[in-house]
């Protein structure tokens, strides 16, 4: 799945135990390069706001391409895990759509964010999981298959839950057209994902040959989305930059912390708790940026653009922390 579709290590090729070193190097490359490319796109959007803001007109088609690519990476086992292990999947999805929206509201109130920024932060919280979480789970030695399934299910539920939660929590800041937002998510998220899944089922061998290229197609698309969002609100970036960064860092960190804490409180194994933590903390910020720019304002899309960069950096740091904890535990055992 994808952020909308960031570099992803599919469950079938990302074992939870230490796997192929080439696979791990590829995952590390993706998770390192992606935020740098997105940061570069943001800089281009800020320095060249005119050409970058012109891309706003093609943001929805770009998001549709990204989500179609996500659908191409899905397989039937991504869904059968729901039947085999319903509790951790259900826990992760509920946590995704409860914890992050409420944290978004809490952070907005705590920092006293202006109306448009508050609506943007809340919308990020109401988005489904970001698919770069799948790569981070792999690097963190969490449960990658569970991560893929959680991201898939939260994405499929997004046309219903994202507009409802945004209307409920952000409606106090700005008018929310929940029906139009739901239709938009249906058109640019759900239908392309399902289309990609169908193509994968019908043309599996062909899709298997192009799978290595799909993450980078998505990387290019999400970079264009970020450049468009930043370019469209370049005048406000300097004024709101530090405030937005503080809100994003706090939102993301509390998502990791509370996701892990809730999973452990409900007696989930450590690996499952790590997965829930990462899934809750990492959002589909590309979708949030698109929705904010379409239904709120360019300023409201800023938190999603910043989140798109930051959660990949923080996710890589979190994965390194989890791996170091494992190494220390192994040392103590020996």
Q: What is the mean pLDDT of residues 95-117?
A: 94
What is the model's pTM? 0.82
Q: What value does the mean pLDDT take over residues 280-302? A: 87
What is the mean predicted confidence (pLDDT) over 281-299?
86
- pLDDT band at residue 18 under the 50/70/90 scheme: very low
Q: Evaluate whether 257 touches 321 at the Cβ level (below 8 Å).
A: no
Calpha distance 11→165 (Å, rounded):
30
What is the set of domains in the chain, with CATH numbers? Answer: 11-333 (1.20.1530.20)
Higher pLDDT, 5 or 61: 61
CA distances to 81, 154, 269, 324 from 318, in Å: 25, 22, 18, 10
When mean pLDDT is compared across 178-182, 221-225, 266-270, 300-304, the lowest value belongs to 221-225
Specify the pLDDT at position 28: 64
Which pLDDT band holds residue 22 (cuts at 50, 70, 90)? low
3-state secondary structure of 297: coil
* Tokens at 181, concatenated: 């937002």
What is the DSSP code string of 201-261? HHSHHHHHHHGGGHHHHHHHHHHHHHHHHHHHTHHHHHHHHHHHHHHHHHHHHHHHHHHHH
Binned at pLDDT 50, 70 and 90, residue 10 comes out as very low
C-beta neighbour count of 186 within 10 angstroms: 14
Q: What is the pLDDT of residue 26?
A: 59
Instruction: For residues 286 and 6, give the distance between their C-alpha atoms in angstroms, rounded to a whole number.
Output: 10
Task: Reply yes or no on whether the pLDDT at 241 is more than 80.
Answer: no
189, pLDDT greater than 90: no
| Torsion sign over Cα 18, 21, 23, 25 | positive
pLDDT at position 301: 86
How confident is the model over 226-243, as a mean pLDDT?
Answer: 78
* E strand or H helix that includes residue 106: helix 86-111
- Residues 111 and 243: their CA atoms lie apart, in Å, by 8
Query: pLDDT tens for residues 191-231?
Result: 988 998 899 999 888 888 888 777 778 778 888 888 888 88
103-107, 120-124, 159-163, 172-176: segment of lowest average pLDDT? 172-176
Mean residue pLDDT of the chain comes to 83
Which residue, among 282, 279, 247, has the nearest Cα to 121 in the 3D structure? 247
Which pLDDT belongs to residue 274? 93
Residue 80 has pLDDT above 80, yes or no: yes
Instruction: Give the chain's end-to-end CA distance (angstroms, integer).
Output: 38
pLDDT of residue 60: 83
17 has pLDDT over 50: no
Give yes or no for a contact between 305 and 226, defined as CB atoms under 8 angstroms apart: yes
For the chain, the farthest-separated pair of C-alpha atoms sits apart, in whole angstroms, at 60
Peptide bond into 4 cis (omega under 30): yes
Residue 89 pLDDT > 50: yes
More confidently predicted of 31 and 4 = 31
For residue 198, what pLDDT is reported? Answer: 92
Mean pLDDT confidence for 75-97: 85
């Amino acid at each position: 799945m994808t952020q909308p579709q960031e570099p992803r290590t599919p469950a079938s090729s990302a074992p939870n135990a230490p796997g192929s070193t080439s696979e791990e190097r590829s995952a590390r490359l993706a998770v390192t390069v992606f935020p740098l490319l997105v940061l570069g796109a943001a800089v281009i959007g800020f320095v060249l706001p005119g050409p970058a803001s012109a891309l706003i007109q093609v943001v929805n088609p770009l998001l549709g391409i990204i989500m179609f690519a996500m659908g191409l990476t899905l397989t039937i086992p991504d869904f059968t895990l729901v039947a085999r292990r319903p509790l951790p999947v259900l826990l992760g999805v509920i946590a995704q759509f409860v914890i992050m929206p409420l944290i978004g509201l809490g952070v907005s109130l705590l920092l006293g964010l202006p109306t448009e920024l508050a609506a943007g932060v809340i919308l990020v919280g109401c988005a489904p999981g970001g698919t770069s979480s799948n790569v981070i789970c792999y690097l963190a030695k969490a449960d990658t298959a569970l991560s893929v399934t959680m991201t898939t299910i939260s994405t499929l539920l997004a046309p219903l839950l994202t507009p409802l939660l945004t209307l409920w929590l952000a409606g106090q800041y700005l008018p929310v057209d929940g029906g139009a937002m739901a239709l938009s998510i249906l058109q640019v998220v759900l239908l392309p994902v399902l289309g990609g899944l169908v193509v994968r089922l019908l043309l599996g061998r062909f899709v298997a040959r192009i799978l290595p290229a799909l993450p980078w197609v998505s990387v290019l698309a999400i970079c264009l989305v970020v450049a468009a969002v930043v370019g469209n609100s370049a005048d406000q970036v300097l004024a709101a930059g530090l405030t937005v960064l503080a809100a994003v860092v706090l939102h993301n960190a509390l998502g990791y912390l509370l996701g892990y804490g809730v999973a452990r409180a409900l007696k989930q194994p450590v690996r499952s708790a790590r997965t829930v933590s990462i899934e809750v903390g990492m959002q589909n910020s590309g979708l949030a940026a698109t929705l904010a720019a379409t239904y709120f304002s360019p300023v409201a899309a800023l938190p999603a653009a910043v989140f798109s960069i930051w959660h990949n950096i923080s996710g890589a740091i979190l994965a390194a922390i989890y791996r170091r904890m494992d190494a220390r535990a192994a040392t103590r055992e020996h």
